[in-house]
Structure 1
């Protein structure tokens, strides 16, 4: 799957505003790639990243993993090792409603990583949570199989992949 890096969220909003949901969370970019897009895969966890790792090891190439971490900033749900798995498997990106760590290493990876912040503390490892279900945060309903676009201006979600109008 080809990863689109030339699509701007501002252009998509100009052409398709009525077809988009705009995420209203103030994410910080931690990955080496600022622009990324792809079909959505989801996990819902709370301060436990076992399902995050499993998803990164199993979701299809080119997908964007949406991690609903409940907005907790008390620990990191992703660090350099999980980021490397995502890069090796050619995932497009990861968007986390929660925190990351190993930010210097994440910045070196050819993958998009958005999160609320960073925290050096690792998560618990109980394997609790849900996979591949619709999740909601940032005034967006993130539905597996729908399409997400992210860049320096923000994050938008469409029901299907959008073609830029010329």
Structure 2
């Protein structure tokens, strides 16, 4: 049931999700969804966890050494049209969770920042990973990726944005 609901929200969004249309679309009922997830908030938490698992699956694959090279490899995945629905869902959840202290959205944005920084840290040599400059470097890479992702989702101009990402993350940039 979770996989069907996840496919549904990837196409329709999650912020304004209503149980009745969701249940109808996935061949269930609101009562069954409430039984399985205890509440709409429980379902949202499960869907956000599922989206984060997809994101982490990609981010934890073997990346080339170096934060910039890892950033470029991650960008290739972010820019692929096949991933747009997951990334729209991620942006929606990220924006909705900023400044929220409780409820199903709480902590999503901060958690994904931590996830991405950890993945980029694993691509750095140990001496860089453990330094303030290493943290600043991977934070800059993350900022480039996040901004570029928003631009591509808004404009669809993958070529222009990819050129900018390559320029920003090129060695010696």
Q: Same fold (TM over 0.5)?
A: no
User: Higher relative contact order at CA 8 Å, sep ≥6: structure 1 or structure 2?
Assistant: 1
TM-score, structure 1 normalization: 0.29
TM-score, structure 2 normalization: 0.28
Return the structure number with greater helix share. 2
Return the structure number with greater strand share. 1
